[in-house]
Amino acid sequence: MPVAARLERMEDVQNHSPAVALDIDRVGIRKLKLPLLVRDRREGRQQTVAQVDAGVDLPSAFKGTHMSRFVEALDAWNDEISYQSLRRLLQTIKKRLGAQRAYARFCFPYFIRKPAPASGSSSLVPYECRLTGELDENGQSFLLEVDVPVMTVCPCSKAISREGAHSQRAIVRMSIRMTGFSWLEEFIEIAEKSASSAVYTLLKREDEKFVTEHAFANPRFVEDVVRNVAQHLSAHEQVAWFRVEAESMESIHSHNAFASIERACR
């Protein structure tokens, strides 16, 4: 029997009516790994690996969606990620799935080669990033999320101690909606400058001395960090909305400390 004839005889269960006729807000696939091209301020572009979620809405008349069509759409999409290329992907997913709404989320490490502050020895520092696009009858939304590791020194501990102060690694998490293109590096630099110090992958002894002294000269609460970042994001020409959180993995407490600010800018 020809292939086409066999396919015609195969039952398409997804198109059956469900036992419970309810609309589903999102249905799709998660944690599909794909190579990804990202814009890089220094090199032009950077190859990384993304973990991808993709989904659509599903009307109450259909039992299931066609999961393979998400994979086909993503496999055929090999563009550098941007607002425009993500829109093309979402339009393809909508068309293939016959959906009214589509979304895709890319989670990936972004690497920046950073010189150590004293020796100049360079190494790659990874930053966890997420890009989420949604497309429906109201248009497209585009959300950038970046996690930036930093160092904080406690101002209170420094003020009351005869020697030293407690210090620890902290994470600045930014969620940003933009009106135009901005480099990832811009937001990473804002977070690092807002803390007591940036963190590095490779440090020689002279670098450790520099980082320690610099951090202790710039003590920051999580409240200070989140306010500093929020001030810069509020003034950024391309930022329409943001949510920023600073979380400190406290070195002398059994809990973490955090602070967050959310604002619409324009």
Mean of pLDDT values over 248-257: 94
Question: Would you state the pLDDT for residue 16?
Answer: 54
For helices 184-194 and 222-235, angle between their N-to-C axes, nearest 10 degrees: 140
- Amino acid identity of 96? R
| In contact, 238 and 266? CB cutoff 8 Å | no
Evaluate if residue 65 carries a pLDDT over 90. no
Looking at residue 60, what is its pLDDT? 75
Summarised one tens digit per residue, pLDDT across range 1-20 is 565 555 566 665 555 555 56
Tokens describing residue 200: 């590095």
Match 């135009």 to its residue by tokens. 180
Check which CATH number belongs to the domain holding 238 and give it: 3.10.270.10
- pLDDT tens by residue, 140-172: 999 999 999 999 999 999 999 998 899 999 999
What DSSP line would sit under 1-39, residue for residue?
--HHHHHHHS--GGGSPPSS---EEEEEEEEEEEEEEEE
Kindly state whether residue 10 falls inside one of the protein's structural domains: no
Domain of residue 73: give its range: 21-264
Report how far residue 99's alpha carbon sits from residue 59's, in angstroms, rounded to the nearest whole number.
Answer: 9
Residue range 53-58: mean pLDDT, rounded: 93
What local confidence, expressed as pLDDT, does residue 3 receive? 53
| Chain segment 216-234, per-residue pLDDT in tens | 999 999 999 999 999 999 9
Contacts of residue 160, Cβ cutoff 8 Å, sequence gap at least 6: none
Q: Is residue 195 part of a domain?
A: yes
Average pLDDT (24-36) is: 94
Q: Which residue has the tokens 């009351």?
A: 160
Does the residue 197 lie in any domain? yes
Q: Is residue 107 part of a domain?
A: yes
How many domains are contained in the chain?
1
Q: What is the pTM of this model?
A: 0.89
